[in-house]
Amino acid sequence: MIHTRNIVVLPAEVEVAFNEGQNLFQILNRAGFPLAHDCAGKGICGKCKFRLHSGLPRPSAVDLEFLTKQEIDDQIHLACAFKPDDGDIVELFSGDLKATPQDEVIGLTFPVDRWPGVETSELALAIDLGTTNVVGYLLDANNGAIINAISIPNSQSMYGSDVMSRLAYASHKGREAVLNLQRLALNDIERLAMALNTNKIPIRRVVGVMNSAMATFVIASNPDDLGRHPCESGIDGPVSQKPFNNKKGVLEKAELIIPPVIGGYVGSDALSALYAVLESNPPAPFALLDIGTNTEVLLVTDNAKAACSAPAGPSFEGYGISHGMRAVDGAIERVTISGGAFSCQVIGKSAPKGIAGSGLFSLFAELIRAGGLDKFGSIVPENLSPEMYRSGEKSLELVIAPGVTVDGVDIQQFMVAKAATRAGLETLLDHLGVKPEQLRKIYFAGAFVQRVEPQDLLAIGLTPDVESSRICNVGNAACAGSAMMAVSREAFVTACSMAGKIEHLPLSGNAYFNMSFQDHVRF
Ligand code: FES
């Protein structure tokens, strides 16, 4: 019999349940708390550090191998080699800020006008401040050329993997917590700026796009209204601040500009993505899904625009999955099945350490095509060779590569994310009276989406059944739009004026959404 126990995770002060026998790395990963790591819990990188606040130090052999005496005296441990006791209190540190190069952006177009007073060789910074990752583009402010592009994990993740956890933290802990979240967000932007701008040239303009919760944190406004019905942030126009002027660094004189939110949780990131897509004059009706922890769904017809925010959770980005990880070195980014075995495409030159979001999409699509998963997400062993699965703690689990497995809970998490996203789209289609087959394009945006094949999106049922040629991946359209706005004042003004013309459809309590969600928690 499995006994459920609890730990308390600091600094979020969140209680997390776990089953006896699990190590802390597994527990926190599943609960959506990211730990720095380079080996996905194999005990060979020495990075998954945390501090134990309860009981005596109990260093493991792995701790003794990787940690200094001072760290051990300070109750630091490595999570993947630590099995907590019921009631343990563990403190997490700020996330692994290792920068990841971003895929090149294709098809950025810039209206001709520039921001007034732009000087020769001036730089601009475009930021997409996501719930899980923060992406930055350093640009030539005159011609829009991208000089450098990277992403780092969002440091706020130690307060929960989704915006609801962070809003709850901010609401319960009051003003100090709000200022803490603001500090973390601004620090992330500064770190990105420093990492991107190696020549240390001062930057005068930063355009940051983000969902409404992140905007609330960045400007340190009261989070209470966003956290309760009808969930409106009260940010109804563009925001311009100089939040870095008390610090030394490349952003010391920078103005941070945040375009308006659309409504509810649908923020300036969705507005920015839509602006970028509209620049290519797509045929209507079309849908745009900006995939992330909070997936924004937009539907555009000839005479209406509507948007909603689907609570997908972090699994699309590889978080909350037992061996999930960011799309960095060692992450499996694509899985195929051939000759009765999984074949993995891995980022970089190292052996597979874990699986990224794009790897999950291809894995499940391949399994569905091979009959290895049924429509409820159960593994069908008769259709798989014995090397592809094994008995796990509670059920069968898929063995993708040595040390990289995917179990039934992972599959369920992914199916829930898929169902929330698909139901968001179906709800907008119903609302504007558009039939799925009328959609002329379905655009998928998101940093990792470029690595996902349209056929895989169709196979897992993230989209209605349309011809695959109608599905287009547009990469990080939110950051692309942000880049356009950072370089062109006309782009910024046009995007801002569009915000008030997009109808926001709340999904909370929406009967059609709830019904559609139930219909799509399956493959
Ligand atoms: S030592 Fe690498 S994750 Fe723990």
Identify which of 23, 27, 33, 45 to mutate to test ligand 1's pocket (most ligand atoms within 8 A of the CB): 45
Quick one: average pLDDT of 375-386?
96
Residue of the CA atom closest to atom 1 of ligand 1: 43
Q: Which residues of 425-453 are buried (b: 16+ CB within 10 A; e: fewer)?
A: bbbbbebbebeeeebebbbbbbbbbbbbb
What ligand 1 atom has the least distance to the C-alpha of 39?
Answer: 2
- Residue 42 C-alpha to ligand 1 middle, in angstroms? 6
- Give the residue carrying structure tokens 């940690």: 67
ipTM summary value: 0.99
- Residue 12 C-alpha to ligand 1 middle, in angstroms? 22
pLDDT confidence of residue 97: 46
Domains along the chain? 4-91 (3.10.20.30), 100-272 (3.30.420.480)
Residue 324 forms beta bridges with which residues?
Answer: 355
pLDDT confidence of residue 313: 79
CB 399 within 8 A of CB 381: no
pLDDT tens digit sequence for 319-376: 788 888 878 788 999 999 999 999 999 998 888 988 999 999 999 999 999 999 999 9
pLDDT confidence of residue 519: 96
pLDDT confidence of residue 276: 93
Q: In the predicted model, what is the mean pLDDT of the chain?
A: 89
| Tally of CB atoms within 10 A around 120 | 7
pLDDT confidence of residue 114: 82
Pocket of ligand 1 (CB under 6 A): 25, 37-39, 41-48, 78, 80
Quick one: average pLDDT of 54-79?
90
Share of the chain above pLDDT 90, in %: 61
pLDDT tens digit sequence for 452-500: 999 999 999 999 999 999 999 888 899 999 999 999 999 999 999 999 9
pLDDT confidence of residue 106: 47
Tokens of 454: 């349209």
User: Is residue 149 pLDDT above 50, yes or no?
Assistant: yes
CB 484 within 8 A of CB 109: yes
DSSP of 337-394, one letter per residue? EETTEEEEEESSSSPP-EE-HHHHHHHHHHHHHHT-B-TTS-B-GGGS-GGGEEE-SS
Identify which of 76, 80, 329 to mutate to test ligand 1's pocket (most ligand atoms within 8 A of the CB): 80
Quick one: average pLDDT of 273-282?
92
User: Is residue 163 pLDDT above 90, yes or no?
Assistant: no
pLDDT confidence of residue 198: 83
Residue of the CA atom closest to atom 3 of ligand 1: 41
Identify which of 26, 28, 29, 37 to mutate to test ligand 1's pocket (most ligand atoms within 8 A of the CB): 37
Say which range, 12-21, 270-279, 490-499, has the weakest mean pLDDT.
Answer: 12-21
Q: What is the DSSP secondary structure assignment for residue 266, as one 8-state letter?
A: B
Quick one: average pLDDT of 209-231?
89
